[in-house]
């Protein structure tokens, strides 16, 4: 896919839909060092007195060397160059709506953080998406008689799994181990996808992993439990639990949610809020058709985040599908006016995650942003950072 020797950092963003690419060649350690750049359809090579960096492209991408244009030097970044590419259409993401239905026969629910079994050998007969949060209002427009669904929340049956925007709703049977909430919930009915059941604020309904004590979800009733997508992995029972780095899993799940919701509801702005109702991040999805190919050169110059896994290797090269987003943090009273304006805007969609996961996501965005060339870390009047969230 990509290979490189120690030398200049090479950053290539391919836009599949536009059939174009932005190439950034990092600044040499010493100014005025001659650089020899060779561009072939399937590779890039950069030679300097310090060494040679070669970037081989994935099979589905080829460059058009004769289309190079817009060469400019950006202080702090290096050389910028645009060129045409021939790239296959977007790689399809694994839909969160199909994650459970892909399991043949019985499946097992695991805690993503530690691998503890939450639900064992559950046969899912129906895996269905929940309606949007405004479906109740729409029913009134469709029906010429009183709403037949009033005060009838959608409770999953024993072999059901209902899929919300960022969670699964399942029915926990008494013969299976189930995480015990710290106190019983108090239930009122509010039929929507994002807040299908509304609980009194003081009711502690957290569902905690009995091994690692991570919050997995919330109890909705005596039988129904909501598990957040960022905390649970669902796999066929015959398959062993596969360990996925936490930060990689979180950003992949969130990226998939953003892409699916933007396609289904034509919304591109999102608020990430905790289960406590507080807004943590404002997100603006720019595009989801990027392929990023990068030779990091020496990763010593990249900011490290001790609380996250170190996924960068010395002199490593990588290629991944990505979504590009703008984001603004809302913690510690930051961006209060902007956050209030977004919360009152009906075109902006809200995604609810455990509060600890919201903070994890903010760290992931900050780390990803720190690995970008400096000129790509901010965007005009939005006064935010933009980053690439990996998606498989």
The percent of residues in the chain predicted with pLDDT above 70, rounded, is 73
Q: Pick the residue with more confidence: 192 or 242? A: 242
Give me the residue spans of the domains in the chain.
10-87, 92-146+154-173+204-243, 246-298+317-388
C-alpha span between 154 and 108 (Å, rounded) = 23
Contact status, residue 349 vs residue 132, Cβ threshold 8 Å: no
Rg (CA), the chain: 23
* CATH number for domain 10-87, candidates 2.40.50, 3.40.50, 2.60.40, 2.60.120: 2.60.40
What is the average pLDDT value for the chain, to the nearest integer? Answer: 80
pLDDT of residue 314: 47
The answer to whether residue 257 scores a pLDDT higher than 90 is yes
Instruction: Specify burial of residue 104 (Cβ count, 10 A radius: 0-12, 13-18, 19+).
Output: exposed
64-73, 200-209, 281-290, range with the lowest pLDDT: 200-209
Phi and psi torsions of 6, nearest 5°: -60, 135
Q: Pick the residue with more confidence: 87 or 300? A: 87
Which of 290, 114, 137 has its CA nearest to residue 210? 114
Secondary-structure breakdown of the chain: helix, strand, coil percentages, each rounded to the nearest 5? 15, 40, 45
Q: Pick the residue with more confidence: 345 or 183? A: 345
pLDDT of residue 178: 52
| Torsion sign (Cα): 109, 115, 118, 119 | positive
C-alpha span between 103 and 101 (Å, rounded) = 5
């Amino acid at each position: 896919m990509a290979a490189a020797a120690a030398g200049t950092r090479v950053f290539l963003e391919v836009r599949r839909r536009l059939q174009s690419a932005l190439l950034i060649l990092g600044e040499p350690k010493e100014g005025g060092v001659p650089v020899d750049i060779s561009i072939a359809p399937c590779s890039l090579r950069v030679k300097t007195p310090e060494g040679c960096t070669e970037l081989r492209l994935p099979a589905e991408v080829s460059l058009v060397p004769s289309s190079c244009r817009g060469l400019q030097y950006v202080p702090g970044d290096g050389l910028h160059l645009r060129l045409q590419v021939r790239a296959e259409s977007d790689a399809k993401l694994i839909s969160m709506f199909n994650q459970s239905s892909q399991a043949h026969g019985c499946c097992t629910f695991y805690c993503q953080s530690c691998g503890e079994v939450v639900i064992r050998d559950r046969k899912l007969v129906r895996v269905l998406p929940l309606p949007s949060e405004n479906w109740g209002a729409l029913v009134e427009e469709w029906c010429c008689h009183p709403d037949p669904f009033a005060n009838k929340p959608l409770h999953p049956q024993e072999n059901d799994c209902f899929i919300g925007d960022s969670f699964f709703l399942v029915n926990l049977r008494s013969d299976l181990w189930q995480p015990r909430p710290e106190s019983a919930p108090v239930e009122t009915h509010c039929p929507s996808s994002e807040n299908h059941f509304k609980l009194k604020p003081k009711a502690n309904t957290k569902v905690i992993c009995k091994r690692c004590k991570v919050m997995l979800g919330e109890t909705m009733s005596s039988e129904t439990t909501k598990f957040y997508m960022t905390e649970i992995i669902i796999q066929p029972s015959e398959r062993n639990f596969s360990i996925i780095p936490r930060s990689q899993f979180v950003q992949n799940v969130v990226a998939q949610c953003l892409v699916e919701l933007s396609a289904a509801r034509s919304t591109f702005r999102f608020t990430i809020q905790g289960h406590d109702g507080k807004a943590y991040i404002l997100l603006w999805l720019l595009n989801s058709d990027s392929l990023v190919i990068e030779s990091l050169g020496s990763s010593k110059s990249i900011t490290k985040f001790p609380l996250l896994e170190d996924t960068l290797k010395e002199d490593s090269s990588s290629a991944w599908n990505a979504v590009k987003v703008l984001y603004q943090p809302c913690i510690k009273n930051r961006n209060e006016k902007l956050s209030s304006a977004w919360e009152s805007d009906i075109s902006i969609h809200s995604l609810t995650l455990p509060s600890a996961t919201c903070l994890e996501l903010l760290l992931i965005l900050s780390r990803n942003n720190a690995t970008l060339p400096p000129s790509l870390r901010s965007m005009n009047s939005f006064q935010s950072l933009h980053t690439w969230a990996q998606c498989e």
